[in-house]
């Protein structure tokens, strides 16, 4: 379990994350939603120790993320962020191999090779494995990075807006992949999403943030209703039931 | 990557062969006529060979390899292909350090000069990193421009104090690498540069991970700041050793890593040996050119590399859209 207590981040006197105490489960898909600036990515960055907190604690399976050895955390929790590391000309396989770094420090064991092969196959990247990541499409590249965290073999997989810049087929295939990871491998997937309907369809739990605090937290059935969404985003919603999925419309 | 993977497979061997061929050529090129037969039979020729030619060739290999590796590390850490000891002000900072050591500690040993030059080079690189983290547009061209400006400031300070102390000629010598003075007993510090390149190879994976970005490195449990500090120290030490021992070799750390990674990708462990070999080969070639053009006189290798290097740099800049931002 990941627990935060009174986690706070302040930028130039603006409180971006305001004393957030939340527990994230050992399994399943948890989506973090909210408007721009609500503090979603900041929260995820602090949980994954990429960003220092101004106050508060994060514990991953009882380990204090800010003080435990980074490598120990890296065996339990992985984080994928959108950043411009695409300038590197390295192959898909090399990227996936980096996932084994916390375990082997770059000297791959037989087990590592096995995990890398497995991750590549699982993410359907076999034909691309010797290609450079800079040559791939956005969706393929996202799958390569997901394969990397799969090879990293952590219980918790955190993703910051993994659907950014993806078209609908690629976005859906990424979400299906994440769902399978949770179902087949028993992993806990925590992701920041802007598309609330993907959150609704694929999540076990939705955590909604507004102005640095948690505004709603529960299964999609409890969060995906017009009143709650309106209070989170400050705009009109209508929520319909589509074959058992709750879909929100917000276009007018 | 199909065709380029074939290039990647042969590139290390081509680079090694070039070093071997050029190295042998360098052993037998010079004012004194030296042939293999004479080396084996004539003691005078043999002493020219062992006191001058062998040290010079070894020095060229070590200095070339070290500067290329320093450039490779710096471009990874700054995450900009045009960052190198030349374009980050590192060389100028090292020269300023050497001047400081010469002025303040007149009788300082070579080792303490290297140490002080290294500390200055390291401080200069850190200042550069802090500066580029502050600027808003981390443009491929803007970042090295900031470095060149910073280097210009270091050089101006150095020139000011050199002028006041009648050391401008000495400063010019430091800033323009020249191997004509390399003889036995006056180049051995360059072995440090070779050791530094080897150490860089041992930690190559770190640098690749750091080159993927701070978040990426943190995710796999690598301490980004430690890697950054270690990498900049390695680059600063290599630069300082070369500047103090033979003088600066500009642009080498810029063009060699660019050309090698263009062919072989960015995995440091894979490209570092080829980068080192290619750096050595290019410096030997430029030094031989300098020995040959106005024979029996010499043009300093720094000048030749500067001309060749800046021309190649221009080509790389103009072609950047085709590859550097890929």
Q: Where do runs of H (alpha helix) occur along B1-52?
A: 2-27, 36-41, 43-48
Report residue B185's pLDDT band, with 50, 70 and 90 as the boundaries. Answer: confident
Burial label, B95 (beta-carbon count in 10 A; 0-12, 13-18, 19+): buried
B3 pLDDT exceeds 60?
no
| B195-249 pLDDT, tens digit each | 999 999 999 999 999 988 888 899 999 999 999 999 999 999 999 999 999 999 9
Tokens of B217: 């490195």
Please list every residue in chain B whose beta carbon sits closer than 8 Å to the beta carbon of residue A151.
none
CB of A52 closer than 8 Å to CB of A43: no
Tokens of A70: 């980074």
| A117-152 pLDDT, tens digit each | 999 998 889 999 998 888 888 888 888 999 999 999
- B218 and A49: CB-CB below 8 Å? yes
Shortest CA gap B11–chain A (Å): 16
DSSP state of B251: T
B30 pLDDT exceeds 90?
no
Q: State the average pLDDT over residues B20-28.
A: 93
C-alpha A238/C-alpha B149 separation (Å) is 58
Residues whose CB falls within 8 Å of the CB of residue B103, separated by 6 or more in sequence, listed in order: B161, B165, B167
- H/E stretch holding B95 reads helix B90-104
- H/E stretch holding A222 reads helix A220-223
C-alpha B147/C-alpha B151 separation (Å) is 6
| A17-65 pLDDT, tens digit each | 999 999 999 999 999 999 998 999 999 999 999 999 999 999 999 999 9
Tokens of A31: 């989506």
Q: How far is CA B323 from CA A220, B93, B317, in A?
A: 45, 30, 10
Partners of A249 in the β-ladder: A238
- H/E stretch holding B163 reads helix B142-164
- H/E stretch holding B113 reads helix B110-134
Q: Helices B268-293 and B252-264: crossing angle, nearest 10°? A: 130
C-alpha B174/C-alpha B32 separation (Å) is 26
Q: State the average pLDDT over residues B107-114.
A: 88
What does pLDDT average to over chain A? 92
% chain A with pLDDT above 70: 98
Shortest CA gap B280–chain A (Å): 24
- A90 and B221: CB-CB below 8 Å? no
C-alpha A24/C-alpha A4 separation (Å) is 9
Q: Which residues of B279-310 are buried (b: 16+ CB within 10 A; e: fewer)?
A: bbbbbbbbbbebbeeeeeebbbbbbbbbebbe
CA atoms within 13 A on the CB side of A247: 8
A78 pLDDT exceeds 80?
yes
Of B205, B266, B269, the CB nearest to A88: B266
Q: State the average pLDDT over residues A222-232.
A: 94
**Is A50 within 8 Å of chain B by CB?**
yes
pLDDT at position B326: 42
CB of A162 closer than 8 Å to CB of A174: yes
pLDDT at position B8: 83
| B123-157 pLDDT, tens digit each | 999 999 999 888 877 788 889 999 999 999 999 99
pLDDT at position A83: 62
- A50 and B266: CB-CB below 8 Å? no
CB of B239 closer than 8 Å to CB of B196: no
**Is A132 within 8 Å of chain B by CB?**
yes
Shortest CA gap A90–chain B (Å): 6
| A82-107 pLDDT, tens digit each | 765 556 788 999 999 999 999 988 78
- B213 and A50: CB-CB below 8 Å? no
C-alpha B286/C-alpha B256 separation (Å) is 13
| B250-305 pLDDT, tens digit each | 999 999 999 999 889 899 999 999 999 999 999 999 999 999 998 888 999 999 99
Read off φ and ψ for residue A25, nearest 5 degrees.
-75, 170
pLDDT at position B1: 45
- A81 and B215: CB-CB below 8 Å? yes
Q: What is the CATH number of domain A1-76+155-252?
A: 3.40.50.300
CB of B125 closer than 8 Å to CB of B75: no
pLDDT at position B188: 92
Of B206, B223, B326, the CB nearest to A89: B326
- A101 and B221: CB-CB below 8 Å? yes
pLDDT at position B2: 46
- A132 and B216: CB-CB below 8 Å? no
Q: State the average pLDDT over residues B46-63.
A: 93
Mutate to test the interface with B, among A71, A106, A160, A190 (most CBs of B within 10 A): A106
Tokens of B154: 């270091």
What does pLDDT average to over chain B? 90
C-alpha B186/C-alpha B190 separation (Å) is 9
Residue written as token pair 């590192």:
B90
Tokens of B130: 């802090």
pLDDT at position B288: 94
Please name the CATH architecture into which domain B2-323 falls: Orthogonal Bundle (1.10)
Q: Integer distance in angstroms from the first to the last C-alpha of chain B?
A: 13
pLDDT at position A210: 95
> Residue A92 CB: number of other CB atoms within 10 A?
28
Q: Helices B204-211 and B54-78: crossing angle, nearest 10°? A: 40
> Which of helix, strand or coil describes residue A185?
helix
**Is A88 within 8 Å of chain B by CB?**
yes
Residues whose CB falls within 8 Å of the CB of residue A9, separated by 6 or more in sequence, listed in order: A15, A16, A17, A39, A42, A46, A51, A53, A54
Read off φ and ψ for residue A170, nearest 5 degrees.
-70, -40
| The total number of residues written for chain B in this structure | 326
Report residue B35's pLDDT band, with 50, 70 and 90 as the boundaries. Answer: confident
- B267 and A135: CB-CB below 8 Å? no
Read off φ and ψ for residue A60, nearest 5 degrees.
-110, 115
pLDDT at position A88: 79
Domain boundaries, chain A: 1-76+155-252, 83-153
């Amino acid at each position: 379990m990941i627990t935060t207590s009174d986690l706070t981040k302040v930028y130039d006197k603006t409180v971006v994350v305001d004393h957030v105490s939340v527990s994230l489960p050992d399994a399943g898909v948890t989506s973090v939603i909210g408007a721009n600036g609500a503090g979603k990515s900041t929260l995820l960055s602090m949980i994954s120790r990429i960003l220092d907190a101004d106050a508060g604690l994060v514990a991953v399976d009882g380990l204090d993320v800010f003080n435990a050895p980074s490598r120990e955390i890296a065996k339990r929790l992985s984080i994928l962020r959108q950043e411009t590391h695409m300038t590197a000309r390295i192959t898909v396989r090399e990227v996936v191999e980096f996932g084994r770094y916390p375990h082997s420090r770059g000297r791959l064991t037989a087990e590592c090779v096995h995990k890398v092969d497995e991750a590549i196959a699982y993410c359907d990247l076999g034909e691309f494995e010797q290609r450079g990541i800079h040559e791939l499409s956005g969706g393929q590249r996202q799958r390569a990075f997901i394969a990397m965290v799969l090879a990293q073999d952590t219980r918790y997989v955190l993703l910051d807006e993994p659907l950014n810049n993806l078209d609908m087929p690629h976005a859906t295939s990424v979400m299906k992949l994440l769902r399978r990871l949770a179902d087949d491998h028993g992993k806990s997937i925590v992701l920041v999403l802007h598309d609330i309907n993907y959150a609704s369809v694929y999540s076990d739990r939705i955590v909604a943030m507004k102005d640095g605090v948690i505004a709603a937290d529960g299964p999609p059935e409890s969060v995906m209703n017009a009143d709650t969404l309106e209070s989170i985003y400050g705009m009109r919603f209508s929520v319909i039931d589509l074959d058992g999925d709750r879909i929100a419309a917000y276009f007018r | 990557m199909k065709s380029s993977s074939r290039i990647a497979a042969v590139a290390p061997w081509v680079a090694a062969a070039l070093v071997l061929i050029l190295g042998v050529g360098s052993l037998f090129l010079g004012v004194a006529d030296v042939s293999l037969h004479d080396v084996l039979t004539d003691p005078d020729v043999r002493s020219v060979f062992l006191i001058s030619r062998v040290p010079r060739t070894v020095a060229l290999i070590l200095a070339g390899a070290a500067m290329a590796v320093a450039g490779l590390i710096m471009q990874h850490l700054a995450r900009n292909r045009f960052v190198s000891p030349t374009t980050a002000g590192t060389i100028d900072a090292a020269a300023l350090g050497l001047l400081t050591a010469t002025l303040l500690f007149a009788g300082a040993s070579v080792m303490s000069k290297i140490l002080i030059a290294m500390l200055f080079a390291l401080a200069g690189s850190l200042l550069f990193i802090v500066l580029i983290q502050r600027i808003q547009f981390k443009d491929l061209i803007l970042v090295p421009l900031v470095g060149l400006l910073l280097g210009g400031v270091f050089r101006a300070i150095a020139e000011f104090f050199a002028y006041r102390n009648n050391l401008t000629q000495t400063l010019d010598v430091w800033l323009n690498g020249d191997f004509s003075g390399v003889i036995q007993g006056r180049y051995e510090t360059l072995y440090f540069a070779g050791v530094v390149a080897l150490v860089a190879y041992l930690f190559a994976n770190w640098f690749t991970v750091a080159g993927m970005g701070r978040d990426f490195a943190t995710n796999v449990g690598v301490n980004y700041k430690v890697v950054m500090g270690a990498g900049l120290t390695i680059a600063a030490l290599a630069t300082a050793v070369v500047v103090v021992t033979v003088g600066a070799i500009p642009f080498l750390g810029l063009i060699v890593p660019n050309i090698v990674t263009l062919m072989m990708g960015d995995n440091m462990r894979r490209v570092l040996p080829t980068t080192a070999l290619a750096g050595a080969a290019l410096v030997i070639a430029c030094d031989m050119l300098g020995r040959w053009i106005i024979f029996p006189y010499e043009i300093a290798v720094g000048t030749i590399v500067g001309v060749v290097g800046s021309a190649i740099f221009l080509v790389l800049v103009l072609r950047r859209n085709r590859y550097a931002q890929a």
